[in-house]
C-alpha cells in the first residue's frame, strides 16, 4: 500500500537531490520505510533539510536525556495535541526503545497512569505544562526538574523537544499528515 503523506497536493515536482535520495535510501535501509513526514517535506528541500537537521539534533544527538526520554516527551506532547501521526510513529519508538508495548500504549493514552520514575514524571509534567500553559511556567517548574536530577542544559533540551513536537503536531494537523501503515505494528 502506498502512503500519501498529506492531504495537501504539494508533492515534489523536481527529482530529489542526490543527498536527499541517499537520506531516503538510508531511512529505507534502517527503518524499512521512508517516514511520511519526510515525504511531506520533500516538496522543498530547504524545509526538509531544516526539519531533519533539527529533528536529528534534538532526538539523536548526545545529551543528558536518553533517546527513550526524548521519545516519551514527543508522545506526551502529541497526546495533548492529539496528533495521530506523532502518536503512532513515536508511540512505536517508545515501545521499541523501552521493550514494553504497554508503556508505549499508556504513554499515548495518559502518561500519568504509566509506571514512571520520578525523573520521567517531572520531565513529562514540565513538557505537558509547556504545551498546555506556557505562560504559566515559573522558576518552581524548573526547580522541580532540578530536584529530579536534571541540569539546566537538560531543561533546555526538554523544552526544545517539547517545542519541536508542538510545531510538528500543528503542521501534521494542518496538512492531515498520516503515519506510515508500518508504524501500527512495530514493536508489539
| pLDDT for residue 11 | 67
Q: For residue 171, give every residue at least 6 positions away whose Cβ sits within 8 Å of its Cβ, in sequence order, or none.
A: 177
Low-confidence ranges of the chain (pLDDT < 50): 1
- Look at residue 62 in the predicted model and tell me its pLDDT: 96
pLDDT digits (tens, 9 = 90+) for 50-89: 999 999 999 999 999 999 999 999 999 999 999 999 999 9
User: What's the whole-model pTM score?
Assistant: 0.92
pLDDT for 187: 74
Rounded distance between C-alpha atoms, residue 183 and residue 188, angstroms:
10
CA distances from 181 to 5, 62, 184, 185 (A): 11, 30, 6, 8
CA 50 from chain center: how many Å?
15
- Kindly list the structural domains of the chain, giving each domain's residue range(s) and its CATH number in brackets, ordered by start: 18-60 (1.20.5.810), 67-185 (1.20.1290.10)
Q: Give residue 183's pLDDT.
A: 81
Closest of 59, 77, 73, 27 to residue 180, by C-alpha:
27
Give me 72's grid cell: 516519551
Residue 69 to residues 33, 87, 98, Cα–Cα distance (Å) = 23, 15, 10
Q: How many angstroms separate the Cα of 176 from the Cα of each of 74, 83, 106?
A: 18, 10, 24
The H or E element spanning position 56 is: helix 45-60
pLDDT at 184: 80
Amino acid at each position: 500500500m502506498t502512503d500519501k503523506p498529506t492531504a495537501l497536493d504539494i508533492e515534489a515536482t523536481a527529482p530529489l537531490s542526490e543527498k536527499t535520495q541517499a537520506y531516503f535510501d538510508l531511512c529505507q535501509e534502517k527503518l524499512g520505510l521512508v517516514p511520511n513526514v519526510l515525504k511531506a517535506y520533500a516538496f522543498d528541500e530547504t524545509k526538509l533539510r531544516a526539519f531533519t537537521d533539527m529533528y536529528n539534533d534534538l532526538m539523536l544527538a548526545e545529551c543528558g536525556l536518553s533517546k527513550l526520554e526524548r521519545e516519551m516527551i514527543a508522545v506526551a506532547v502529541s497526546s495533548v495535541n492529539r496528533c495521530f501521526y506523532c502518536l503512532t510513529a513515536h508511540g512505536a519508538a517508545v515501545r521499541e526503545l523501552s521493550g514494553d508495548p504497554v508503556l508505549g500504549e499508556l504513554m499515548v493514552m495518559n502518561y500519568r497512569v504509566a509506571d514512571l520514575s520520578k525523573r520521567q514524571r517531572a520531565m513529562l509534567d514540565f513538557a505537558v505544562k509547556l504545551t498546555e500553559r506556557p505562560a504559566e511556567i515559573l522558576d518552581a517548574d524548573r526547580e522541580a526538574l532540578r530536584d529530579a536530577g536534571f541540569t539546566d542544559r537538560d531543561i533546555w533540551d526538554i523544552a526544545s523537544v517539547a517545542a519541536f513536537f508542538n510545531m510538528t503536531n500543528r503542521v501534521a494537523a494542518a496538512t492531515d499528515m498520516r503515519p506510515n501503515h508500518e508504524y501500527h505494528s512495530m514493536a508489539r
